[in-house]
Structure 1
Amino acid sequence: MEQQETTIFSYSDIIFSFFLNNDTVCSHKAVSHLLIYVYSGQMSIQENGQEITAGAGECVFVKRDHTVTINKGPAKGEQYRGITLKFNRNFLRDYYRSLDRKDIPKGAKPLAVSVLKLPESADIQSLFFSMVPYFNSENKPNDELMQLKLREGLISLLAMNKDFYPTLFDFTEPWKIDILDFLNKNYMHDLSMEEIALYTGRSLATFKRDFRKISSLSPQKWIMQKRLDVAYEKIRSGGEKISDVCFSVGFKNRSHFTTAFKKQFGFTPAR
């Protein structure tokens, strides 16, 4: 059965997502710290051979600057629905400036793991339950309200474990790295241009200027061509199913992949 399209609502770094059918697998580079709440269904996160599974009512924290494989799918007769909070550097800097330094705990150390399943918390449950009504697309919250929800999520983490202080408020910027080297290693990840610029140590304007020096294509078209070229080689070798190739190179659904593939090569992946 072909995978149906993911429906996502995004409001000011808070993402509401659910999947209409089947499991969804994506390889994701967490450029921002993530707090992911599973409302229904099930999610598993894999990194370096380790796997964490979360069911309905459970929450997982993912540190920034790590690549993880996320599987989301149905469980107990319900499709996956989840809410993700993204804590970007600017938001964290603004909050850090508002803190009284006397309130910052002494002796705290950054989390040793990059993926952490959080213990049960009334604060976390209350926060995400308050956002569930927005799964209804007719009820769209304003950005100011969502900023308050982000702030509430941040406060909940800090209250839960003092080690979140040095983890969240580490503002070390990444070194400027080679763009093509980064894209060749990360073309399959669902990254925005702003995130790619940030992760390669550049402003968005500098990233666009540097990219024009190395390719006549736009970054989006370069990534699309890279995904299709890799998919073509994988299918030609015959070692993987077409559906597995589709998701492994970064496409979110089979229909989009087939259309893009035929446009690029003049025939479908099946041929």
Structure 2
Amino acid sequence: MVNPTEIIPGVLFYSYLSAMRKDKVAFLEHTTLVLQVSGRFTMETASEKISMEKGQMLLIHRNQLGELTKTPLDGEEYQTIVICLKEDLLRKIALDEQIEIGNKYDGPPNILIPKNDFLHAFFQSVIPYVHHPNEQITNAMGILKVKEAVYLLINMMPELKNFLFDFSEPYKMDLEKFMHSNFHFNIPVEKFARLTGRSLAGFKRDFQKIFGMAPRHWLQEKRLTEARRLIEKRNKKPSAIYLDLGFESLAHFSYSFKKKFGKAPTEWILEPGSSLI
């Protein structure tokens, strides 16, 4: 999740917004449980789009890239409570409870959790921490809240054991397909490597073989080419696309675009019926 308020360090987060916000780059490194208190939460990855509204819960598998849209509804502010289920804590639970770690999980990466009185009561118990964020909370309390959430989940849905206790590394996946689907996410090359199941050195080596250039160079070229297509073919404004294509600022995007194509992106917008050919 991006920039929520941290209630219990590294474990419990709270997001509160009065206007819509879109976070283009979200590297969801840890397995995460989200309760939607109010408003609508939408997550879009390369393979799916999933939404939830007030009272719904979503379990998100680790190691994903996604675009998050947070939208207030019906005059209410947007509010979510997020529990981060980090691998070290899940491993400790698996050892404490003698839970056998099975094969790599290959089911859906994001699961809407059915309504459940016990989970609802659990999140109600979390609200005091949200309302009193300045109170001193020990690390032990954070671990207890994670354990409670995990026990409730596997008690309600035993099949989630494979989801929660999958500690395997990502399989080495099709690098070319993955990069064409995810080039617009502005994350470090190291994270691209991890998500494709490679070491950084292996990622760079495979990338050079497939694309004939270094990852950073290819990403820049791919993003600029896509920007030109969107401006030329779909009449998109530069200010509306630069963030979605992984550029950190409009100034950087405009400079890079002009350097590659000889004109600023605002000069590239065509009048109806005109052509660059």
TM-score (norm 1): 0.67
Q: 2:257 aligns with which of 244, 249, 265?
A: 265
**Quick one: structure 1 residues 66 and 209, their matched pair in 2 at CA, closer, same or farther if it must change by over 3 Å?**
closer
The residue correspondences of 1:1-271 to structure 2 (distance < 5 A) are: 7-10=3-6, 11-12=9-10, 14-22=12-20, 24=22, 26=24, 30=28, 32-45=30-43, 52-64=50-62, 70-101=68-99, 113-129=108-124, 130-131=126-127, 133-134=129-130, 144-177=140-173, 182-189=178-185, 191=187, 195-202=191-198, 206-207=199-200, 211=204, 214=208, 226-240=222-236, 242=238, 245-246=241-242, 248-250=244-246, 256-265=248-257, 269-271=265-267
**Quick one: structure 1 residues 61 and 230, their matched pair in 2 at CA, closer, same or farther if it must change by over 3 Å?**
same
> Could you tell me how far apart the structure 2 residues matched to 1:15 and 1:98 are?
25
> Could you tell me how far apart the structure 2 residues matched to 1:263 and 1:135 are?
45
Contact kept, 8 Å, 1:87 with 1:150, in 2: the verdict is: yes
The Cα offsets for residues 218-271 of structure 1, whole Å up to 9 and x where unpaired, read as 86x8756754553343223335455653454246xxxx5423313423586544
Contact kept, 8 Å, 2:231 with 2:238, in 1: the verdict is: yes
SS at match of 1:100: coil
The Cα offsets for residues 167-225 of structure 1, whole Å up to 9 and x where unpaired, read as 222333323357676444323346566643432224xxx41685489599786x87567
**Quick one: structure 1 residues 32 and 265, their matched pair in 2 at CA, closer, same or farther if it must change by over 3 Å?**
same
Q: Paired residues, what number?
A: 253
Q: Which AA in structure 2 matches 1:115?
A: N
SS at match of 2:166: coil
Consecutive unaligned residues of structure 2, counting only runs of 5 or more, are 268-277
Contact kept, 8 Å, 1:35 with 1:61, in 2: the verdict is: yes
> Could you tell me how far apart the structure 2 residues matched to 1:13 and 1:192 are?
24
**Quick one: structure 1 residues 118 and 75, their matched pair in 2 at CA, closer, same or farther if it must change by over 3 Å?**
same
**Quick one: structure 1 residues 63 and 140, their matched pair in 2 at CA, closer, same or farther if it must change by over 3 Å?**
same
Larger deviation, residues 131-140 vs 115-124: 131-140
> Could you tell me how far apart the structure 2 residues matched to 1:31 and 1:198 are?
10
Based on CA coordinates, which of the two structures has the bigger radius of gyration?
2
Identity %: 20
The Cα offsets for residues 9-54 of structure 1, whole Å up to 9 and x where unpaired, read as 3541544334452352647675543312212211234679976542
> Could you tell me how far apart the structure 2 residues matched to 1:69 and 1:128 are?
25
Contact kept, 8 Å, 1:38 with 1:56, in 2: the verdict is: yes
**Quick one: structure 1 residues 146 and 75, their matched pair in 2 at CA, closer, same or farther if it must change by over 3 Å?**
same
> Could you tell me how far apart the structure 2 residues matched to 1:139 and 1:224 are?
45
> Could you tell me how far apart the structure 1 residues matched to 2:224 and 2:95 are?
45
The Cα offsets for residues 134-153 of structure 1, whole Å up to 9 and x where unpaired, read as 47875685655434333332
TM-score (norm 2): 0.66
> Could you tell me how far apart the structure 2 residues matched to 1:132 and 1:217 are?
49
**Quick one: structure 1 residues 84 and 187, their matched pair in 2 at CA, closer, same or farther if it must change by over 3 Å?**
farther
SS at match of 2:169: coil
SS at match of 1:71: strand
Q: Which AA in structure 1 matches 2:32?
A: L
Ranked by relative contact order (alpha carbons within 8 Å, sequence separation 6 or more), the top structure is 1
> Could you tell me how far apart the structure 2 residues matched to 1:192 and 1:122 are?
41
> Could you tell me how far apart the structure 2 residues matched to 1:149 and 1:190 are?
32
**Quick one: structure 1 residues 153 and 240, their matched pair in 2 at CA, closer, same or farther if it must change by over 3 Å?**
farther
Deviation at 1:73, TM superposition (A): 0.6
Deviation at 1:72, TM superposition (A): 2.2
> Could you tell me how far apart the structure 1 residues matched to 2:92 and 2:186 are?
26
The Cα offsets for residues 69-121 of structure 1, whole Å up to 9 and x where unpaired, read as 643211011232223334344433332122135xx7xxxxx795443322223
